[in-house]
Structure 1
């Protein structure tokens, strides 16, 4: 998309612009320049970049999200989590469910423009708020600085902790001053996690085994609401919540399941096409750029911009239920004489 939309005309228009944080066009496009195989190729160096470099961002956002430059993100609407129910009450298909959202903290730039003080100040503010949470959200913050390699590897293996080394983020200057200012919070039951200063300022994650989407989503809604009382988030009236990557705007909600669909997976192209009809994205067992293991897939909602939080969850729920029905139908076909 960078190659498609950074025309000579757009380049000449944007090449000398700067945000009030000092971010330039080079900060926005450097990851795509270093990684020609990147699907998108651009990142926002700070919240203002979406406006200052709108001639580049707007067409990318429109193509990826189907969100026109004249459109506006609806107001936040979490809806009633209880209406989502349990997607797999018998536990036959869904291994685990995860709902996460990203947030950027008002007054701070994003990774390419953040200095060491920004990282440390933000971490201090965030960890203080997180460690004041009570009840089922009560937990502890663990800074990455000083954490043993063994502990890090175990948390990564458990799908709790992010890891360094993504070449797209590295090229975007996302890993500067690593591991300073980075860390992870999780509650005592390890069903609620927060990543601090990984790709975004905050990644808030609610998860547990099984398909009880109502409980998992409800926990996230409660956590975000409590944290927002203490910290102001960056939100734009047109694009919704602002984050580092233009693929993750609006609600920033990603609701996903690890689900066993081995029969659907036999014809992967047809499987993907079916999922797209329900606005779902299919990934391998361990996420983006991985393969399925034993017929297990990571499937999530694709649309995040132009709809409310509850609408995004409802689309995901309806799509997953349809895929389960399709898998059941294939099972029935195999069992027929």
Structure 2
């Protein structure tokens, strides 16, 4: 899997052109650089270990990023592939367009597993993590809302209304630091990729509005 992904990504051009870093044999300097950039993922928790997601760690794992560090691919961190587009600021359109371009370029060379029908349900893209089935899209922003951080009930109320997941910026099961949260869409199945991103966008707009009013 890692060899397939590495050779596929080496063919990306233009804005997506970059470097693949295998975890096996990674130098200390490269490791520290990736940690400083918040790119380097860690071995999974006891639940992932029990599900055999961490066998032979770190063999077969790797990280790719483009020169601008706005496009990343994780290989075998948990799901076989995690394709990431990100940048500072609020230009959601630019982030989404880059993601779509990257996904399409990769899929031309490396077809994704897709399940069209299961009784009355469409499973969509097949992933190791069952919560990512469907569109697989998790659109998130890191946003500082200190007033809402002090009013957790209101924050959770808005999150529930817009189907949002609220967590700390260091990942699942982490607390917010300095009033900064990672806010993302909760639903992956039963809606389009655009709708998944739109849910997050609408929820963030509402959170910003309430934060300013408090």
Q: 1:182-218: per-residue Cα shift (whole Å, max 9, x none)?
A: 1011001110000011101110000111111000010
Alignment of 1:125-144 (within 5 A): 125-144=4-23
The yes-or-no answer on 1:261 pairing with 2:141 is: no
What corresponds to 1:170 in structure 2? 49
Change (3 A) 1:243 1:165: closer
Q: Distance in 2 between matches of 1:169 and 1:203?
A: 16
**Preserved contact between residue 279 and residue 301 of structure 1 (Cα < 8 Å):** yes
Q: Distance in 2 between matches of 1:254 and 1:233?
A: 17
SS at match of 1:174: coil
What corresponds to 2:161 in structure 1? 277
Return the offset for 1:270.
2.7
Q: Among residues 158, 178, 184, which one is paired with 1:294 in the alignment? A: 178
Larger-Rg structure: 1
Return the offset for 1:149.
4.2
The yes-or-no answer on 1:194 pairing with 2:78 is: no
Structure 1: gaps of 5 or more residues: 1-121, 331-337
**Preserved contact between residue 161 and residue 195 of structure 1 (Cα < 8 Å):** no
What corresponds to 2:124 in structure 1? 240
Change (3 A) 1:290 1:154: farther
- TM-score, normalised to structure 2, is 0.94
SS at match of 1:300: strand
Return the offset for 1:274.
1.6
Return the offset for 1:158.
2.2
Return the offset for 1:181.
1.0
What corresponds to 1:81 in structure 2? none
- TM-score, normalised to structure 1, is 0.60
The yes-or-no answer on 1:215 pairing with 2:94 is: yes
Tell me the C-alpha RMSD between the 2 structures. Answer: 1.2
SS at match of 1:208: coil
SS at match of 1:205: strand
**Preserved contact between residue 44 and residue 53 of structure 2 (Cα < 8 Å):** no
Q: Distance in 1 between matches of 2:63 and 2:124?
A: 25
Change (3 A) 1:154 1:170: farther
The yes-or-no answer on 1:227 pairing with 2:68 is: no
What corresponds to 2:119 in structure 1? none
Higher relative contact order (CA 8 A, sep 6+): 1
Runs of 4 or more consecutive aligned structure 1 residues displaced over 4 Å after TM superposition: none
SS at match of 2:146: coil
Q: 1:18-53: per-residue Cα shift (whole Å, max 9, x none)?
A: xxxxxxxxxxxxxxxxxxxxxxxxxxxxxxxxxxxx
SS at match of 2:132: coil
**Preserved contact between residue 158 and residue 203 of structure 2 (Cα < 8 Å):** no
**Preserved contact between residue 275 and residue 319 of structure 1 (Cα < 8 Å):** yes
Alignment of 1:1-337 (within 5 A): 122-237=1-116, 238-330=122-214
Q: 1:278-299: per-residue Cα shift (whole Å, max 9, x none)?
A: 1111101212111111110000
SS at match of 2:135: coil
